[in-house]
A and B are shown apart, each in its own frame.
Chain A
Amino acid sequence: MDIQLKILRFNPERDKQPYFQDFNVKNVSDDWRLLDVLHEIKGNYDGSLTFRRSCAHGICGSDGMKVNGKNKLACALLLKDINTKKTIVIEPLPSLPIIKDLVVDMSSFFSKYEVVKPYLITNSPPPPNHERIQSNEDAEKLFESAKCILCACCTTSCPSTWTNDNYIGPAAMLRAYRYINDTRDEGGDERLDILDTPDGIWRCHTIFNCIEACPKEINITWHISQLKKKLSSREM
């Protein structure tokens, strides 16, 4: 089958404004991923089309983009799951600066991620004869939040991010949950202090765009609500 695409293009050396370019891609099959279509365009239609991708299997999280008005991972999106009768509109992730075509500058996203201290914090000395042990049950509680691949689909889909540059965002809060609820970690209070700031967790208005965007189907808002509960019970 043939499909129509509209892709937002921007070349920093030539363009002042991004513009849409139309592509008519022939002989695609509905078991293709959207990423395969982008490869097809880059290989056979327009070699200058620029996008990020690395593993192409939904693990590295580098090909997040806005597809038909919603953030998606191009490698985790089959053509049969999109309405191919209509033109498919592809744009870069919202609100982040565009470097070229579908490639955005993720530095602000990662600096917010670093703010919540995404590593194990311990004050007590390690046990002498073995590693810090975590039970299977305790590990299971973290599985959903640890699935995050940092593709930035959630943070850039959030209306709070669009209006507030400093808002910490769902991805960073999810990672905070993952460490705060880790039984081996001792930096929970430190992280809760960071979340309990004007640009922190209280800017989450439970809009649920993050859940709709997450390619890993993580219920991010539920994790944030658990952190909100933890924070308010700390005050009591």
Chain B
Amino acid sequence: MENDTNSGNTYHKIKTFDQKNWVSENLNYKKDSGSRAWILHRISGIALVAYLFLHIYSISPLTQGEVAFNNKMQTYSSPFFMVVEWFLFAFVLFHALNGIRIVIVDWADGAKYHKQLYRLSWVFGVILFLAMGAIMFAHELKNLF
């Protein structure tokens, strides 16, 4: 620290602790609607890319002819895969609605009411998610009541 008394730029000689760690910072910093939307947008984006590969894999029996393809499709129409697809739709919905929110923020003064836009995208998202569920499981719902 005796360097401090010298004139000139000795500032960089001070020993410091580098606390840079983006993983822990992202985990520890308090989140608000904006950062939640950003994280969910990233997660849903990665999930959709992963789904794209899964989709290519699942239609690959097409190369082996009609029977192989139909057999494969049979497994995907099981209730388990129906529910998985329903949640896949949730990812698509969030990514699409939040994408619209980002466009409004960047192009239409949306930064002034970004929290309301976030809540609104959730309201629309939940309504559309339930509506899609009603369409997808119409047959099962009819049997239930």
Contact = CB atoms under 8 A, between A and B. Distances in A.
Contacts of B11: 105, 107
B35 A206 contact: no
Interface of A: 10, 12-13, 15, 17-18, 66, 68-70, 92, 94-99, 105, 107, 157, 159, 162-163, 165, 205-209, 211-212, 219, 221-222, 224-225, 228-229
B16 A105 contact: yes
A57 to B, nearest CB: 25
Interface in B102-118: 102, 105-107, 109-112, 114
Listed from nearest, the 3 A-B pairs whose CB atoms lie closest are: A208-B34, A97-B16, A222-B111
A97 B34 contact: no
Contacts of A107: 11-12
Nearest to B9: A107
A158 to B, nearest CB: 10
Contact of A96 (B1, B19, B29, B105): B19
Interface of B is mostly: helix
A98 B32 contact: no
A225 B106 contact: yes
Given A18-B19, A221-B111, 15 more contacts: A12-B16, A17-B17, A70-B30, A94-B25, A95-B25, A96-B19, A162-B22, A165-B20, A205-B38, A207-B35, A212-B32, A212-B34, A222-B111, A224-B111, A228-B106
B4 to A, nearest CB: 11
Contacts of A211: 34, 111
